[in-house]
Amino acid sequence: MAQITLIEAVTQALSYEMHHDTDVICLGEDIGANGGVFRATNGLQQVFGKQRVIDTPLAESMIAGLSIGMSAQGLKPVAEFQFMGFSYPALDQIINHAVRLRNRTRGRLSCPIVFRTPYGAGIHAPEHHSESTEAIYAHTPGIRVVIPSSPARAYGLLLAAIRDPDPVIYLEPSRIYRAVKQEVPDDGIALPLDRCFILKAGFDITLVSWGASLTETLQVARELEAEGFSAEVIDVASIKPLDMETILNSVEKTGRCVIIHEAAQCCGVGAEIAAVLAEQALFFLKAPIKRVTGYDIAIPYLRLEQHHLPNTARIKAAALESLNP
C-alpha cells in the first residue's frame, strides 16, 4: 500500500464518499479545473463531472448560502474556502442559518454541510492566509469543529464529517499538508467525531494539543522521555464539542497539564480546557496548568512567523516548569 500525505488523504476521502454517495457535492473557488489552491480536489471534476465538482465565483457568502440550500434539499455539500482568513464573509450564513436550521425547524430539517478550509501558519504568507481563529467557530452552538493532525485521521475524520447530519467546520493544517506520509487504507471506515486520540501513553505529565502543533508536542514528549519523564500526548482532534472525559482521566493520572495551540491565547480553546480542568480536576493537580500558544497579535509572516508559533523550546520549558514546580 502506498503512503500518502495529509492532503492526499483528504482527496482520497472525498473520492471515496463521492463514489459511494451520489448526494455528495463539492463546491468552491478553483476546486474543479485547477483542483483547489492546495490540490485537495485534484482530478475529482474529471471523474465526477462539473455538476458534482463545482467551480464557484470568488464569493464565500454565496458558497455558504448555496451549501445551506443544497443541504436543506437532501444533498451533502462539501464546500471549500481557500484559506480560513477568507471564510469570514460566510460567517453570516454559517452562524445565522447553517447552525440554526435544525433548531429553527424543530428538527424537521438538518444541515449536513462540511466547510473545509486550510488553516494555520507555516506557508509564510500574509496573515489572511495563516489564520488560526478556530475559537470563533468553537464558540458557536450547533456546529462541530474538527482538526486532523495526520493523514490517517484526515481520512477517517473527513468521512465522519461528511456523514454527519449537522454542519462541520473541517480545518486542515496547511503546515503539515505534505510534511509526513502514512499508509491509509481506502476502506471507507470513519473515525469517531467528538473524541480525543491518545497518541502516546504516559504518567508524569499530560500534553494536550491539536493540528500542526502536535509535531512539536510529540518531539518534546520524546525529549522528555530521554530525560526520564513520561509524557502522555493527547490529540484533541474535535475542539467542538470537546472530549473532556479523556483529558480529565489523563490529568487525574498525571497531575500535570500543558496545553499547546498556535492560535492566540486570549479566549482560545486552551482556555476552555484549562477552565474545565480547574473546575473538575483541581484536587488532582500537582502543578498549575500551563498554556503555550501563539501571541495575541495578527500573525506575522516570513521570518517572524516561526517566532509566533509554539516551538519545542517553549513547550519543553513549560513542561519542565510543571514537572519541577
Of 124, 129, 307, 308, the active-site residue reads 129
Q: What is the spatial distance between Cα 294 and Cα 216, in angstroms, rounded to a whole number?
A: 13
Task: Give Cα separations from 287 to 223, 281, 284 (angstroms).
Answer: 20, 12, 9
Q: Active-site residue 308, yes or no?
A: no
Handedness of CA 205, 121, 178, 58 (dihedral sign): positive
Backbone phi and psi for residue 56, each to the nearest 5 degrees, phi listed first: -110, 165
Reading the block at residue 289, the C-alpha cell is: 496548568
d(CA 201, CA 208): 12
Strand partners, 240: 145
- 318 and 290 Cβ atoms separated by less than 8 Å: yes
Contact 154, 172 (CB under 8 A): yes
Q: How far apart are CA 320 and CA 325, in angstroms?
A: 8
User: Angle at Cα 317 formed by Cα 172 and Cα 290, nearest 5°?
Assistant: 65
Query: Do 99 and 142 contact (CB within 8 A), yes or no?
Result: yes
DSSP-derived pairing of the beta strands 144-146 and 238-240? antiparallel
Contact predicate 234/199, CB 8 Å: yes
Interatomic CA distance for residues 193 and 242, integer angstroms: 10
Omega within 30 of 0 (cis) for the link into 173: no
Cell of 190: 470513519
Angle at which helices 6-20 and 151-163 cross, to 10°: 30
Which residues form the catalytic set? 129
